[in-house]
């Protein structure tokens, strides 16, 4: 059903964006910047890229770095990949 798929995707994106933005009690939505990053990360993770190549690329998107993501963002990227592919 297309409606269910849309809802699933929206829910997926919401969860992913919270992971990117940083989860906190009572926080229900991410900021716009993290929402955009999560959207790009979800597309990448759901795409054909090999698992082994995924982590550095997702970490880079999350951090917004030019190939030098920080430790925090490596962890977030790992979480995202596990959530979406695991
Ligand atoms: Zn944010
Ligand atoms: Zn970072």
Distance (Å) from CA 21 to ligand 2 centroid: 11
Query: What is the Cα–Cα distance from 23 to 51, expressed in whole angstroms?
Result: 24
Contact 51, 81 (CB under 8 A): yes
Distance (Å) from CA 25 to ligand 1 centroid: 15
Please name the residues in contact with 83: beta carbons below 8 A apart, sequence gap of 6 or more: 15, 16, 19
Distance (Å) from CA 30 to ligand 1 centroid: 5
Scan for tokens 């997702």, then name that residue.
58
> What pLDDT does residue 67 have?
86
Distance (Å) from CA 25 to ligand 2 centroid: 21
For 57-86, the pLDDT digits (tens) are 999 999 998 889 999 999 999 999 999 986
Task: Print the domain residue range for 61.
Answer: 2-85
Name the closest ligand to CA 72.
2
52 compared with 33, residue with greater pLDDT: 33
Number of domains making up the chain:
1
Residue 2 has pLDDT above 60, yes or no: no
Task: Say what the pTM is.
Answer: 0.86
DSSP-derived letter for residue 60 is H
> What pLDDT does residue 33 have?
96
For 27-46, the pLDDT digits (tens) are 999 999 999 999 999 999 99
């Amino acid at each position: 059903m297309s409606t269910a798929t849309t809802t699933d995707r929206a829910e997926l994106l919401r969860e992913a964006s919270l992971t990117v933005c940083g989860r906190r009690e009572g926080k229900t939505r991410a900021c716009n910047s993290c929402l955009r990053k999560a959207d790009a990360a979800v597309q990448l993770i759901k795409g054909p890229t090999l698992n082994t190549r995924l982590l550095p690329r997702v970490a880079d998107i999350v951090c917004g770095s030019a190939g030098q993501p920080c430790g925090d963002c490596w962890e977030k990227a790992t979480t995202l990949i596990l959530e979406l592919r695991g």
